[in-house]
A and B are shown apart, each in its own frame.
Chain A
Amino acid sequence: MKSPYNGQEVITLDNVSKRYYLYPQRVRELKKAILHLPTFLKDSRARQPFWALRDVSLTVRRGESVGIIGPNGAGKSTLLRIVSRLAPLTKGKLTVRGRVSPLLELGAGFHPQISGRENAVLNAVLLGLSHKEAQEKLPEIVEFSELGNFIDQPMRTYSSGMYVRLGFAVAVHVRPEILLVDEVLAVGDAEFQRKCFDHIEKLRQEQVTIVLVTHDLESVKRFCDRAVLLNHGVIAVEGEPQEVVDEYLSSHFEFSAGPTDGGDS
């Protein structure tokens, strides 16, 4: 793999595989489990293994930005979830050096009963800052969110727009070492997307390592040093964004003509 980045390897996936099981019907109620015990046991055995990722090996170096593309169900999000430790892997080895932050998990854990200010601090600590860092960043976060006096009101009084603004303000000010971005373009209006992209561009210039999962091929070409095409849980192509995107587009007709395997996992 030719890459201008010879820095430290910050993400290393070594033959990583991830297996999920598909159950005909998942019973999580004691009553149902007991009442329909024969069916429950049969269903538990009838689970179908589904390999979301198969022997994926990938190395990302410090400061690099890598785009992951591929059709629905290719395993893109699973890959991000594994790197962010949200999903344990089934086989293989993962090494991550540095603080991983997901972008656009906006307002995860916001509690409606407490103020925006208190939520912002808790959210920032959840995303990886120390309490001290979070306190230091707080004035900037409040400023950026443009919430004014509302910042000390309980969040239940916020409009959904204000909610997202505060979530984004926190996300922007949590300086990650590795930024994972999943489908920026799926959320928000044009203005909001522009702000997101400005932010990603800024982080990129600050040598933050970025892994971007998206269906928007233009943004891969624009932001990424390298692209990876995933298909059915396997790395199909890896290389220059332009080449990989072209490869994806030319083979895309093949994919859309064939059977698709469910939603993106």
Chain B
Amino acid sequence: MRAVSVAAPRGFDLSQLARTWELLLLLTARDVKLRYEGTILGFLWTLAKPLLLALVFSFALSKVLRIDVGDAPYVLFLLSALFPWTWFQSSVQFSAGSFSNNAALLKKVYFPRFVLPFSAITSQLIHFLLSIPILALLLLAADFSPGPEWLLGVPLLMAIQLLMLAGAVLLVASFNVFLRDLEHLVEVLMLLWLYLTPILYPLSLVKERIGSVIYLNPMASLIQAWRDLFLYDQLPGVDIWPALLFAGIALVAGSIAFKTLEGQFEVAL
């Protein structure tokens, strides 16, 4: 016999759902604001990091190693994958400590706790959304004009990446309460993951050598889809199925981990 029923005072759980949503928005707004608090260049810093990274990589990989990426300039080829990747990577990294760093709050007030790691996703999403116009301008300058396909493709890929992230951050943030090492481990793993994903190089390059094994990387097909959309205005096709599958797996695993471990937060935090 183990049950907790908490009946809502009036009208279903709808008010609770609305409040959770508001909490998520408020935390997101706070995160975004905090990021730029006291900086003169503000939002430019968010752009500067991937842009600088792109310059370094483009020198090393297109000038020195001469990777063939087709007709697009290497910087654009890179950025079209690096921006969505940055959203993924920084969300996972920032969310890792979202339970363990908020122990005081979690031990005192009950609220739907998943909003904490989720707010890392949404605040990073804002940065990603703001970087899309920059990318569009750069593409325009290079005669790779963005097409109307973006209007459908961007929300679609965003939704898939959101689901994947939701599962991933629940998993990482929940386990990090019990093993704080995870925070550091995630940072290293993310760097490795960056190199293992077709971001710096085209998917076709690895597919020639290792075949479909590349699709075991949950981000491979998704990143490729982002690139095809941004560079060539191609809407995602059936090739997207590995990303969908992994998003589902992440979501299930993350929810189970969170549900199971949440009960132990009070003693572990």
Contact = CB atoms under 8 A, between A and B. Distances in A.
Interface of A: 15, 20-21, 28-31, 81, 84-100, 102, 105, 108-109, 111, 113-114, 118, 121-122, 125-128, 130-131, 177
Interface residues of B, number: 37
Contacts of B181: 29-31
B204 interface: no
Nearest to A95: B5
Contact of B4 (A15, A29, A31, A89): A89
Given A86-B108, A93-B3, A114-B33, A29 B23 contact: no
A99 B9 contact: yes
Nearest to A130: B19
Interface in B9-49: 9, 15, 18-19, 22-23, 25-27, 30, 33-34, 37
A126 B19 CA distance: 9
18 contacts: A28-B178, A28-B268, A30-B179, A84-B110, A89-B2, A95-B5, A96-B6, A98-B9, A99-B9, A102-B108, A108-B104, A108-B108, A111-B34, A125-B22, A125-B26, A126-B105, A131-B19, A131-B22
B59 interface: no
Contacts of B33: 114
A92 B4 CA distance: 8
A109 B26 contact: no
Contact of A28 (B18, B104, B105, B180): B180
Given A28-B178, A93-B1, 17 more contacts: A20-B267, A21-B267, A29-B179, A31-B181, A86-B108, A88-B4, A88-B262, A91-B2, A95-B5, A97-B7, A108-B109, A125-B22, A125-B23, A125-B26, A126-B23, A130-B18, A130-B22
A200 B245 CA distance: 53
A100 B4 contact: no
A118 B110 CA distance: 20
B198 to A, nearest CB: 31
Contact of A109 (B7, B25, B109, B178): B109
A15 B2 CA distance: 10
Given A86-B110, A93-B5, A122 B37 contact: no
B108 A131 contact: no
A90 B267 CA distance: 13
B10 to A, nearest CB: 10
A81 B108 CA distance: 9
A88 B26 contact: no
B5 A122 contact: no
B263 interface: yes
A130 B26 CA distance: 11
Main secondary structure of the interface of B (DSSP, over half): helix
B146 to A, nearest CB: 35
A118 B266 CA distance: 27
B30 A85 contact: no
Contacts of B1: 15, 91-93
Interface in B66-103: 102
Nearest to A85: B110
B7 A96 contact: yes
A114 B6 contact: no
A91 to B, nearest CB: 6
A175 to B, nearest CB: 12
A92 B3 CA distance: 7
Contacts of A93: 1, 3-5
A87 B266 contact: yes
A115 to B, nearest CB: 10
Given A29-B181, A127-B109, A94 B266 contact: no
Nearest to B263: A88
Nearest to B105: A109
B57 to A, nearest CB: 32
Contacts of B266: 81, 86-88
Contacts of B22: 125, 130-131
Q: Which of A31, A102, A126, A128 counts the most chain B CB atoms within 10 A?
A: A126
A51 to B, nearest CB: 14
Contact of A105 (B5, B19, B108): B108
Nearest to A31: B181
B207 interface: no
Contacts of B180: 28-29
B14 to A, nearest CB: 11
Contacts of A28: 178-180, 268
Which 3 A-B pairs give the minimum distances between C-beta atoms? A105-B108, A30-B181, A88-B263
Contacts of B19: 125, 128, 130-131
A94 to B, nearest CB: 5
A125 B27 CA distance: 11
Nearest to B182: A30
